[in-house]
Structure 1
Amino acid sequence: MSDKYTFLTQAPVHRVIGVMAIPTIISMLLTSMYNLVDTFFVGKINTQSTAAVGIVFSVMFFIQAFSFFFGNGSGNYISRQLGAQNTKDAEVMASTGLFYTLVFSLIVMLLGWFFLEPISILLGSTPTILPYTRQYLGISLLGTPFIMGTFCINNQMRFQGFTKYSVYGAISGSIINCLLDPVFIFGFSMGVSGAAVASVIGQICGFVILLIMSQKEGVIHYTHRRISFEGRFVKEIIAGGTPSISRQGLASVSTIALNSVAGNYGDAAIAAMSIVTRISMFIFSVIVGLGQGFQPMCGFCYGAKLYDRVKEGFWFSTKIGTFFLLFWSVVLIIFSGEVVSLFRDDPEVIAIGIQALRYQMIIFPACSFMMMANMMMQTCRKTIRANILAASRQGLFFIPLIFVLPYFYGLFGVEICQPVSDIISLIVTIPIVWSAFKEMR
C-alpha cells in the first residue's frame, strides 16, 4: 500500500491516470456492451421486446445508482483515509460498505417481485409491451444482490488503486452474458426471458470472481469482524454516495419519464429512444471510466493536500475525454442511420432514432468537462456541489424538460430534450468548478 501511495501522489499525472483509467474504461465498456448486446439480440425478436428491454433499463439504473451509492460512498472515504495513511478506518469501511450493500439489495429484490406488475406499468409499459416487461424484469431481479455486490467491490478496489483487479469481475460477467444471450434467446427459444437469464448468470460469475480478487495481497480483505454500525461510517457513505444517487437515480427517473412521454407517439418511439440512449451511454462509458481512473489519484492527493496535482489531473482527464467525444460525435452524426438500423430494422424506429441521435451528439463533447467536475467534487467531499452537478444533466433539468418540450413541440421535443438539458448543465458547471479551484490553495 505504501508503494501505491507513492505512485498516486508522486508519479507523472498522465502516467497515473493512464494506469488507473485503462482498466476502468475497459470495465465500463464491457458493462455497457452487455446492455447493447441485449438490445441487439432482442431487437431480432420484435419492437415490443426491444421497448421492454429499454423500459427495464430504468430499473437497472436504479439498482446501479444504489450500488454506486454504497461503493462510491465507502470508496471515496477509503481513498482519502489511505491518502492520510489511516489504514484502520479504511479497512472497517470496506466491510461495512459491502454489508449494507447486500442487505439493501435483498430488500430491493423482494419489493420488486411483490410489486412486479405495478412497477412494469409505472415504468411506461403499454398493454402490448407489458407481458415482455414482466418476463424480463421478473428474472432480472434475481441478479440484484450479485450486481450490487459487484459494483460495490469494484468501486472500493478502484479507490484503493487496484483498478486491474477491480475490472476482472465486470469483464468476466459481461463476456459470459454476451456469449449466453444468443444461446438462451434463440437456441433455447426463450425470447426476452433468455436475455434476462443470461444477464443473471453473468452477474453471479462476476461477483464470485471479484470476491476472489479481494483476497489478493495488498487489497483490503472483507470480514464480518470489521462490520461497524457506528454513525460516522454511515454518515461518510451518505456524504460520498449521494452524488451517485443524484446521478444514477435521477437518470432512472428520467428514463421512466422518457419512456412514458415517448409512449404517446407509439411503441416505435420508445424503441428508438431506448436504442439512442444505449448508444450514447456506450460511448459515454469511456468518459465515466476515465473519470473513475482520475478519482483514486484525486482522493489520495486531496487527502495529502496536493491540490495542484488534483487540478492537473482534472484538466488532463477533461481534455482527453473532450477529444474522444468530439471524434465519436462526428462519426455518429454522419452514420446515424446505419448505426440505429443495426438494432432494429423498422423504418419508423430508424427515422426517429436518427434525429434523436444527431441532436444529442451536437453538445456531447462538453459532457467530459461536466463528468470530471462531478467526480472531483464527489471525491473531495464537496457534497452539495457534487449533488447539484450529478443531478443536473439527467435529472434536475431533464425531467421538467421532458414534459415541457413535447407539450410545445411534440416528438421533436422528445428528441431534443437531452441536448437542451446538457447545455443548461454546462452553464451551471462552470462557476462550480471555478469556486472549487479557488478553495484549493
Structure 2
Amino acid sequence: MAESTEAFGTGDIRTLLLKQAVPASIGILFLTVNLLVDTILVGRWVGGNAIAALTVVTPVSFFIASLGLAIGVGGSSVLSRALGSGNREKAEKTVAHQLLLTFLLSSLIVIIGLVFSDGMLKLFGAQGSILESAKAFYFPILIAGPLQAIAAMASSVMRAEDKARLAMIALIVPSVMNLVFDVIFIKVLDWGVFGAAMATAISFAMGFLYVVWFFITKSEIRLSFKHFVPDFKLAGEISALSGTTLARQSVISVLSVLLNHVLYDHGGETSVTVYGIVSKMLMFALFPVNGITEGFQPIAGYNFGAKKYDRVQKVIKLSLLYACGFAIVIYGLILIFAEHIVSVFIKDADVLKETPNALRWVFAASPVIAVQLIGSAYFQAKGNALKSLLLTLTKQGFFLIPLILILPDKFGIFGVWVSFPIADTLAVCVTGSFLWLDVRHKLSQQNG
C-alpha cells in the first residue's frame, strides 16, 4: 500500500493526530468563518430580516452538504479499513461508489426541491416578510447543491488517503471565493440576499473544480469505468455507515425547521434572528473539537483494519484529552465575550439584548461534548453502523427535539435555550457509557 497511508499504522499517534486534526480544524475554521462573514455582511448590508431568511434556507443547503459529508465519512470508514488491510481493489471501488451515490442522491434532492419549492420554504419556516427574502436565496443554492455535495464527500476521501492538507484546501477554496463574491454581489452590485446566494453557489462550483483536480493529479486512488459498475453489497456497506452521519445531519435539519417554527411562535422574527446568530456560532466556535473528531476517524479506522487495537485505544484517549481541553477554553471565551461577539453580527437593539444569554446557555455543556462526538465516531470507524447511528441520534433526535417541544410551552424562549445543555449532558452520559464499556471489555480483550 502507498507509503503515506501506511504511516497510520506505524507512526507516532500524537503526531498523526495533530497532522490530521490541525488541517481539518483550519479547514472547518475557514468554512465556518465563511458562514459567519456571510451572516455578518447580510445582517449589516441588507438587514436583520435577511439573516432570518438565511436561517430558514440553511437547512436545505445543510442537508445537501450533509448528504455528501455522510457518504464521505461513512464510505471513508470502509476505505480506511480497506487501506489498512491492504485491499486496494476494494479501496478504489469504494471511492467510485462514493462519487456515484453522492451525485445521484444530491441530484434527486435538487429535483424534489425545485418541484416543491413553495411548500418546502413554508415548511422550513418562511413566514411573513421572511418568505420573499428566502426565495431569493433558495434557488441558486439548491441548483448548485450537487457540486457542494461532491466537494464535501471528497474531503473525507482526502483525509483517508492521509492528505489532510489537501482536504483543508478543499474547504478553504470555496470559503475564500465566497467572501470575494459576497463583496462584489452584495456591496458593489447591491444584489442583496440574492447576491449572497449567487456568491455561495459560485463558491460551490470552485470547490468542485478543486476536487476534480485532486482526483486527476493527486489521489493515490486510480479510478476506471470498471469501478463504477454497481456493487450492491459494497453500496450497502457504504450506505449503512453513511446513514450515521446523514441521520445526524438530517435530524439537525429537522431540528432547524422545528426551531424556526417554535421561535417564531414564541418570539417572532427577532427570536429567529437570534437563533440565526447562535447557530452560526455553534458551527464556528467548536471548530478545533470537530477537527479533532475528523482527524481521529481515519487513524482509528485504518488501525481497526490492520488489527492494531492498542493504537486505537491510544488515539481515543488523546482525542478526548485534546478535544475536551479546547472545548473548555472556548466556553470560557464565550462566557466572557458574548456581548462583543454578538455586536459583530448586527446592530439591532432587540437582537443585541437577547442573543448573549442565549449564546451562553446553548454552549453551557460544550466542555464535555467531545465524549459524544468521539464516541459515535469510534463506532463508525470500527464499522458498527447500528450502534453509531443510535448514539449519533442521542442528542438531537432522542433528547433535544422532545425538549424543544415541551420546555418552551412552560418557560417561553428560555425553554428553547436551556434545552441545548440538557440534551448535550444526557447524550454525553449515554455515549460515554457505551464507549467506556466497549473500550474496557471488547477492545482490551482483543489487545490481549
The answer to whether TM tops 0.5 is yes
**Are 1:439 and 2:439 counterparts?**
no
Contact 1:17 1:293 in 2 (8 A): yes
Give the match for residue 103 of structure 1: 104
Say which is worse superposed, 132-141 or 431-440, in terms of deviation: 431-440
**Residues 202-260 of structure 1, C-alpha deviations (whole Å, 9 max, x = no match):** 11011111111122355213443311312211111122111101221111111111111
SS of structure 1 residue aligned to 2:86: coil
How far apart in 1 are the matches of 2:193 and 2:87?
A: 49
- The within-5 A match list for 1:16-31 is 16-31=16-31
Q: CA deviation at 1:60?
A: 2.0
**Residues 291-347 of structure 1, C-alpha deviations (whole Å, 9 max, x = no match):** 111111101101111111111101111111111111111111111111112111112
How far apart in 2 are the matches of 1:208 and 1:224?
A: 20
Which of these residues, 272, 282, 285, is aligned with residue 284 of structure 2? 282
- The within-5 A match list for 1:112-123 is 112-123=113-124
**Are 1:325 and 2:327 counterparts?**
yes
Structure 2 gap ranges (5+): none
How far apart in 1 are the matches of 2:294 and 2:51?
A: 30
- Pick closer, same or farther for the CA change 1:22–1:274 going to 2, 3 Å: same
SS of structure 1 residue aligned to 2:217: coil
How far apart in 1 are the matches of 2:303 and 2:237?
A: 19
Give the match for residue 261 of structure 1: 262
Give the match for residue 40 of structure 1: 40
Contact 2:65 2:145 in 1 (8 A): no
How far apart in 1 are the matches of 2:287 and 2:225?
A: 33
How far apart in 2 are the matches of 1:128 and 1:331?
A: 35
**Residues 106-131 of structure 1, C-alpha deviations (whole Å, 9 max, x = no match):** 11112111111111110011211000
- Pick closer, same or farther for the CA change 1:209–1:217 going to 2, 3 Å: closer
Contact 2:34 2:175 in 1 (8 A): yes
TM-score, structure 1 length as denominator?
0.97
- The within-5 A match list for 1:219-238 is 219-238=220-239
Which of these residues, 277, 290, 295, is aligned with residue 293 of structure 1? 295
Contact 1:71 1:151 in 2 (8 A): yes
Give the match for residue 8 of structure 2: 8
Letter paired with 1:248: Q
Contact 2:6 2:84 in 1 (8 A): no
Give the match for residue 384 of structure 1: 386
Contact 2:61 2:142 in 1 (8 A): no
Give the match for residue 150 of structure 2: 149
SS of structure 1 residue aligned to 2:80: helix
Contact 1:146 1:207 in 2 (8 A): yes
How far apart in 1 are the matches of 2:222 and 2:343?
A: 47
Give the match for residue 241 of structure 1: 242
Letter paired with 1:251: I
How far apart in 2 are the matches of 1:127 and 1:217?
A: 49
Give the match for residue 401 of structure 1: 403
How far apart in 2 are the matches of 1:314 and 1:228?
A: 36
- Pick closer, same or farther for the CA change 1:373–1:207 going to 2, 3 Å: same
How far apart in 2 are the matches of 1:218 and 1:99?
A: 17
How far apart in 2 are the matches of 1:24 and 1:399?
A: 29
- The within-5 A match list for 1:71-220 is 71-217=72-218, 219-220=220-221
Letter paired with 1:18: L
Q: CA deviation at 1:283?
A: 1.5
SS of structure 2 residue aligned to 1:181: helix
**Residues 335-371 of structure 1, C-alpha deviations (whole Å, 9 max, x = no match):** 1111112111112112221111111222111111211
Contact 1:75 1:160 in 2 (8 A): no
Letter paired with 1:7: A
Say which is worse superposed, 213-222 or 388-397, in terms of deviation: 213-222
How far apart in 1 are the matches of 2:205 and 2:355?
A: 33
Letter paired with 1:439: K
How far apart in 2 are the matches of 1:31 and 1:109?
A: 22
**Residues 85-118 of structure 1, C-alpha deviations (whole Å, 9 max, x = no match):** 0000110111111011111111111211111111
Contact 2:173 2:207 in 1 (8 A): yes
Q: CA RMSD in A?
A: 1.3
Say which is worse superposed, 303-312 or 66-75, in terms of deviation: 66-75
SS of structure 2 residue aligned to 1:6: helix
Letter paired with 1:215: I
Contact 2:263 2:271 in 1 (8 A): yes
SS of structure 2 residue aligned to 1:219: coil
How far apart in 1 are the matches of 2:312 and 2:110?
A: 39
Say which is worse superposed, 273-282 or 345-354, in terms of deviation: 345-354
TM-score, structure 2 length as denominator?
0.96
SS of structure 1 residue aligned to 2:216: coil
Say which is worse superposed, 213-222 or 50-59, in terms of deviation: 213-222
How far apart in 2 are the matches of 1:421 and 1:125?
A: 26
How far apart in 1 are the matches of 2:37 and 2:58?
A: 13
Q: CA deviation at 1:37?
A: 1.4
How far apart in 2 are the matches of 1:353 and 1:7?
A: 46
Contact 1:64 1:248 in 2 (8 A): no
Q: CA deviation at 1:6?
A: 3.1
Q: CA deviation at 1:73?
A: 2.1
Letter paired with 1:341: S
SS of structure 2 residue aligned to 1:147: helix
Length, aligned pairs only: 441
Say which is worse superposed, 308-317 or 343-352, in terms of deviation: 343-352
**Are 1:270 and 2:272 counterparts?**
yes
Taking only the aligned residue pairs, the percentage that are identical comes to 27
Q: CA deviation at 1:69?
A: 2.2
